Structure 1
Amino acid sequence: MHTIDRLSAEEFDASVKDLANLLVDAVDSGASVGFLTPFGHEAAAAWWRAQAPAVADGSLVVWTCRDGSGINATVSLALARKPNARHRAEIVKLMVHRDARGQGLSRALLAAAERGALAAGAGLLLLDTETGSTAEHVYLTGGWTRYGIVPDYAGSPDGTLQDCSFFYKHLTAAG
């Protein structure tokens, strides 16, 4: 049984260790989420702790998926701060532990983030992902529109430059 919850600032602080474990697993399994190997738990926890002010002020919203063993997936929503951009937000750090993949957790977390975006007044979502990745397939089949590919945009965990696909999705209250 999996439960998806939006983390309060206090819950976020208490979840940093589990979130760090998930981030390390993502990097170790080859996910292009902004970090290079070797990447350890201390660095992962420090990165998550650095997000705490944004979680506390509401500009970063974090959802987690838990099972009996702890956090096995997460997604974050970065709300735009500029006055002329408050209608949009960015999906960041969608990660599913390698042992929990293939269970629909990405789609469930994306649905939670989409509902959260609408509740915050953001009807346009943006994201980027490695071209050709499993994540890209999730977006292509989940109602997202790819609007471009940038060659050599980001490095994979081993530092190899990879193409990146950029997506958007217009949200409606009806889904």
Structure 2
Amino acid sequence: MSGAPHIRALTAEDIAVRLDEFCDLLLDIVGGGASIGFMAPLSAERARLFWQGIIASVERGERILLAATDGEGGRVTGSVQLVLAQPDNQPHRGDVSKMLVHSSARRQGLGAALLAAVETAALEAGKTLLVLDTVPGTPADRLYHRAGWTALGVIPGYALMPDGAACDTRLFWRQLGPAS
């Protein structure tokens, strides 16, 4: 990274302007073997359709997308989503989803910065309980442990890696404040 990361919530329009950068980010992550819901090889068209769905969800107010750029106005190096849309009886809960850090920006604290930023965004949105899942033993798994998230348990064979191999999933939760 050439500068300090700049993290901010993006509007649907902001995402659309940077659509190619978000597609490149997703292609990098899946190409690197991360289990984030996609199978390899991920096509550019499939990546674009995914991000267009995220744009629509942000526009409807169902989620917040935080993006990290390489300095203010630089290229997108990471992102994380906070899913706001929850059942009526869970207005205090949010799901942290698709924490992505480009391979060129890893091991520089960007994941921890994105996690802190999504926790702040959650509180600002009135969410006091967060949940997420990840593959055990990965850098993301270690990050959530270090950040003080509570590991709930592991579900064997929950998902597939991009190459088709089965992988386990660890569930985490974090209480940010009292339930409202």
- Three-state SS of the structure 2 residue aligned to 1:25 is helix
Count of matched residue positions in the alignment of Structure 1 and Structure 2: 173
TM-score when normalising by structure 1 = 0.95
Distance, in Å, in 1 between the alignment partners of 2:36 and 2:69 is: 20
Compare 104-113 and 63-72 and name the one that shifted more.
Answer: 63-72
Distance, in Å, in 1 between the alignment partners of 2:51 and 2:85 is: 19
The two structures, once aligned, show a CA RMSD in angstroms of 1.3
- Three-state SS of the structure 2 residue aligned to 1:4 is strand
How far does the alpha carbon of each residue in 1:132-174 deviate from its partner, in whole angstroms, 9 at most, with x for none? 111100001111000010000010010100011000001149x
- Three-state SS of the structure 2 residue aligned to 1:99 is helix
Residue 146 of structure 1 is matched in structure 2 by: 151
Checking the alignment, whether the CA contact within 8 Å between 2:94 and 2:131 is kept in structure 1 is: yes
- Three-state SS of the structure 2 residue aligned to 1:84 is coil
Runs of 5+ consecutive residues of structure 2 not aligned to the other structure: none
Q: Which amino acid aligns with 2:107?
A: G
Give 1:38 deviation, angstroms. 0.8
TM-score when normalising by structure 2 = 0.92
The list of structure 1 runs, each at least 4 consecutive aligned residues, that deviate by more than 4 angstroms after superposition, is none
Give 1:53 deviation, angstroms. 1.9
Residue 28 of structure 1 is matched in structure 2 by: 31
Runs of 5+ consecutive residues of structure 1 not aligned to the other structure: none
Q: Which amino acid aligns with 2:65?
A: V
Distance, in Å, in 2 between the alignment partners of 1:140 and 1:46 is: 32
Distance, in Å, in 2 between the alignment partners of 1:64 and 1:146 is: 25
